Amino acid sequence: MAGATLLATLVFGVGAGSVAAASSHSSDGPFGHVSGRLVRVGGMAPGAAMGIPGRVILSLVGTSGTFTYATGPSDRFNVPVPAAFTYRVTGYSPKVLTNGREEPCAAGHRARVPSRAGLNGSIVVRGVQVVCRIS
């Protein structure tokens, strides 16, 4: 992405668990969105996926920039991010603890926001599931 610089540390939130936005981000390019759910899988039968509150972190692959979104009481997220980048998506929830510490959760794949985002409206990468596995 010629002419664009990206150094990001953003925090977003919704509902009662909102976190104020703080940014050190600069980009000349278009934006897109990454949306999905933070879910817990496993535990006692049937062990089906269940949405949980927490936060998701989108880390730019190949750089140190991150975008953090607090889901509040919901399990859903819709994070605005610069286009033309690939993001590693992880998460944490107070509902998934080991020895009193939140365990990391991960999406099964990276989220790539195409560079064409913003040309005809924002591109949304949908259906990203950040999975917290419990025993």
Residue 120, pLDDT score: 63
Strands 105-107 and 85-92 come out as: antiparallel
Residue 3 lies in a domain: no
Please give the model's pTM, rounded to 2 decimal places.
0.74
Number of structural domains in the chain: 1
How far does the chain reach from its first CA to its final CA, in angstroms?
43
Distance between CA atoms of residues 133 and 122, nearest Å: 32
Q: In this structure, are residues 38 and 132 in contact, taking their beta carbons and an 8 Å threshold?
A: yes
Q: Which domain holds residue 92?
A: 9-130
Which of 8, 19, 7, 9 minimizes the C-alpha distance to 77? 19
Q: How confident is the model at residue 96 (pLDDT cuts 50, 70, 90)?
A: very high
71 has a pLDDT exceeding 80: yes
Contacts of 50 (CB under 8 A, 6+ apart): 39, 40, 41
For residue 52, being part of any structural domain is answered with yes
CATH of the domain at 120: 2.60.40
Considering the domain boundaries, does residue 1 fall inside one?
A: no
pLDDT tens column, 116-130: 755 566 788 999 999
What amino acid occupies position 64? S
Q: How many alpha carbons lie under 13 Å from residue 59 in its C-beta half-sphere?
A: 11
- Does any domain span residue 4? no
Judged by DSSP in three states, 101 sits in strand
pLDDT tens, residue by residue, 25-66: 445 568 899 999 999 998 777 768 889 999 999 999 988 889
Q: Report if residue 37 sits inside a domain.
A: yes
Q: Which residue has the tokens 């790539």?
A: 112
